[in-house]
Chains A and B, each alone.
Chain A
C-alpha cells in the first residue's frame, strides 16, 4: 500500500459502506495532485460455510447453507437442493416439485428486488445523491412518500407470503429436499395469494415506472454514472429466454458477441476460475479463456437482461425492449440501469406468480424422485443479485467432503471495484471531498445490490468515516457523519 501513496498524497476511507447487505469499506488513494491513484472495495468479513458443512450429511446442506443470508436464503436453499438432486442421482424432479420451487424463487426475487429498490436505493434516487444524510433513508420515504413506502412494504410482504406457502416459512424454510420438495401447497394458501396477486403486479409496475421516470428525467447524467464496458454473465433458458431457476450459462461481450453459450452447470468450472487478492475476503472470479486481467464480468439483473433474447411474460418483455433500445443494439452498460433491470425482473416475477397460481400441479402430484447416488454435483441458479453456483463432493458415507459456493456478489467483485474507480474519477477527482460526494461512491456500489456477507445487514444505521492521511500514513483529519 505504501508504494501507492506518494508524498502529500491522501487516502480516503469509507467504512462501512451503508445501505447494502453486509459490511465492506472503500479506500481511495489520491496522489499529490488530487488525482485518483487507486480505489479498492474491501469485503472485511468472512463466512466460512464451505468449511461448516464438511462432514455433514448431504441432505442437511440445503437448510444449513441458506443461513448464509436472511435476504435471499431461498436462492441458496434451492441451489443447494438442485446440487443435492444430483448427489441423490435425480436429474429431473417431479413437475410438482419443480413448480413449487420455481414459485418460491419468484416470490424470493420479487421481495428481494422490492427490498433493494424501495428500501435501499430509492432514497438516493428520490432525494438526490447528495441530499442530507439524515434524509437518505427509508424513514424519510415513509414520511414524505407514504404511498410508495406502503407499496414497498406490502410488495415485499407478498413475496415472503409466497415463499412461506411454498417452503413452509418466510425466511429459512425447509421445503426443498434432495430430489424434490416435502409438501404440496394447499387450496387455501393459493386462494389467499391469488386474491392479492393482481394488485401486487400493478404496484410493482408502478415501481418500475417510478424507477424509469427518475432515470429518464436526468438521463444524460445518470446513464453515464459509473458506467464502463464489461462482459455480462448469466444463465438463460431455452431459446434464450430470461431464466432465474435453471438454465445454461451464457457470456456476452460489450459488443453483444457471445463469448460462450449453452454451458451446462456441470461444466461451469471449465469456463470460470476464481482468483484471490490479499486485501479482500471476496474472491475475484474470471473467465478462464481471457485470464485474470481481462476475464472479469458482471452478473445480476442487468447482465441477465443483456444476455437474454426475450422474457416470457408480456409486460416485462415490452419493458425489456424499451430498456434495451437505449443500447442501440449493444448491451446496456450503465451501472444505474441495474435498478431499471431489477424492477423489470420484479414485474416478471409478479407476472409469473399470477400465472403459476392457476397451476393444479402445485396441489397434487409426486413430491420426490430418487436415483443412484453420485459423488459430485454442481448447480447454478440466478439469485436476485446474480448467478449463484453451488458445487459439492460427497463420500460413500453420504457425508460432504467439500463444497464451493460462488455467490453473486463474488462474481461482481471486480465490476464493483471498477464502478468505484469510475465514480471516483467522475465525481471526486480534484474536488473538495464532501459527504455527499462520497455517497456517490456508495450509490455506484449499491446499484449492484451487493450482499457482502450474504448474511448480515447494515441498513444505513452506521456512521460513515472519512479519514485523510498524509504520505507517511499519518492521519491528518477525520470526518464522521451523524448516526441516522
Chain B
C-alpha cells in the first residue's frame, strides 16, 4: 500500500468524497459519513474480507470494500437495490448456517448481525435452517464461547493475536463444519484469556462474551435500541 498522504477523490453512489491513498474504501466511506454494511470488519483490526457483506461495485466489478484500497477517480456503487439484495441474502445464509434465536438471545439488541439484518430489511431467512450442533465452552470462570452464534468473522482471532498478544484463537474443522478453535488447550478455562481482553469485546454476535451479563441491560437501553447500526462509530 502506498503512503497515506496523497489526496484523492472518488464517488460513492454519485457523491464525491475525498480520501488519502492507502486507505481502504470502507475507511474512506466511514470518514465521509457513508455507511457500507459490514460484519467481519472492525476499525481496530486489519481487514480480512471474510464475510463479503461490504461488497460494493467498483468501476463495474464487485469487491469487498474493507480490503479494497481507494484510488483517484473510483466510481463506487454501494447503497443500491442490487447490492443490498445480495447482502441480505448473505445475511440470511449466515442466519441459517448457525443457531440465531433472537427472541430469547441475551445479545438481542446488542448484536451486529441482527442490526445489519434489520438495516437491510430482512424479516426472516428464506433458506432452510441447518440447525447445526455447535459447541459451547463455559469452562472459564468469567468468559464463555457460544458457537451457536459464531459467524466466523475472525475478529477474535485477530484481536487475540495482534492486540492482546495471546493468540488464543484459531480455526478447526473444514467447510461447513469450520469453527473457531481455542488453540492448544481446546478449553477456554485453560487459557490466559481475561474478561478485559480486546478479543472479548470485538465479537459482532458476542458469542465470545463475559459471563453473567445476560439481560442485565433493560429493553430500550441496548446498543441498537438507541440507534440503528450504520452510524459510523468514531473515537
Contacts and interface: CB of A to CB of B under 8 A. Distances in A.
Are A and B associated in one complex? Answer: yes
B136 A399 contact: yes
A30 B11 CA distance: 82
Contacts of A256: none
A398 B211 contact: yes
A60 B215 CA distance: 8
Interface in B189-227: 189, 211-212, 214-221
Contact of B103 (A55, A67, A182, A399): A67
A88 B106 CA distance: 17
Contacts of B216: 177, 182, 368
Nearest to A398: B138
B106 to A, nearest CB: 6
Given A63-B104, A63-B106, A67-B103, A57 B219 contact: no
Given A168-B219, A398-B138, A60 B104 contact: yes
Interface centre among B137, B139, B144, B219 (most CB of A within 10 A): B219
B218 A168 contact: yes
A55 B211 CA distance: 15
A146 to B, nearest CB: 34
B3 to A, nearest CB: 48
Contacts of A59: 106, 212, 214-215
Contacts, number: 55
Nearest to B188: A397
Nearest to A367: B216
A34 interface: no
Nearest to A173: B219
Contact of B144 (A62, A67, A88, A398): A398
Interface in B91-136: 103-104, 106, 136
> SS class of chain A's interface: helix, strand, loop or mixed?
loop
Contacts of B211: 57, 398
A250 interface: no
A150 to B, nearest CB: 29
A169 interface: yes
A39 interface: no
B218 A174 contact: yes
A63 B219 CA distance: 12
A55 B218 contact: no
B218 A60 contact: no
Size range of the interface on B? 20 to 34
Contacts of A67: 103-104
Contacts of A368: 216
A64 interface: yes
Contact of A177 (B139, B214, B220, B221): B214
B220 A168 contact: yes
A67 B131 CA distance: 19
A398 B219 CA distance: 24
B139 A174 contact: no
Contacts of A399: 136, 138
A67 B105 CA distance: 12
B217 A182 contact: yes
Given A59-B106, A59-B212, A398-B211, A182 B136 contact: no
A23 interface: no
Interface in A151-173: 168-169, 172-173
B220 A55 contact: no
A335 B212 CA distance: 45
B91 to A, nearest CB: 24
Contacts of B217: 182
Contacts of A398: 138, 144, 211-212
B187 to A, nearest CB: 10
Contacts of A169: 219
28 contacts: A55-B136, A59-B106, A59-B214, A60-B104, A62-B215, A63-B104, A63-B106, A63-B215, A64-B104, A67-B104, A88-B212, A168-B218, A168-B219, A173-B219, A174-B215, A174-B219, A175-B218, A177-B216, A178-B212, A182-B217, A183-B221, A368-B216, A397-B139, A397-B144, A398-B144, A398-B211, A398-B212, A399-B136
Given A63-B104, A67-B103, 11 more contacts: A55-B136, A59-B214, A169-B219, A174-B218, A175-B219, A182-B216, A183-B221, A397-B137, A397-B189, A398-B138, A398-B212
Interface of B: 103-104, 106, 136-139, 144, 146, 189, 211-212, 214-221
For the complex of A and B, 6 pairs with smallest distance between CB atoms: A397-B138, A168-B219, A183-B218, A59-B214, A64-B104, A174-B215
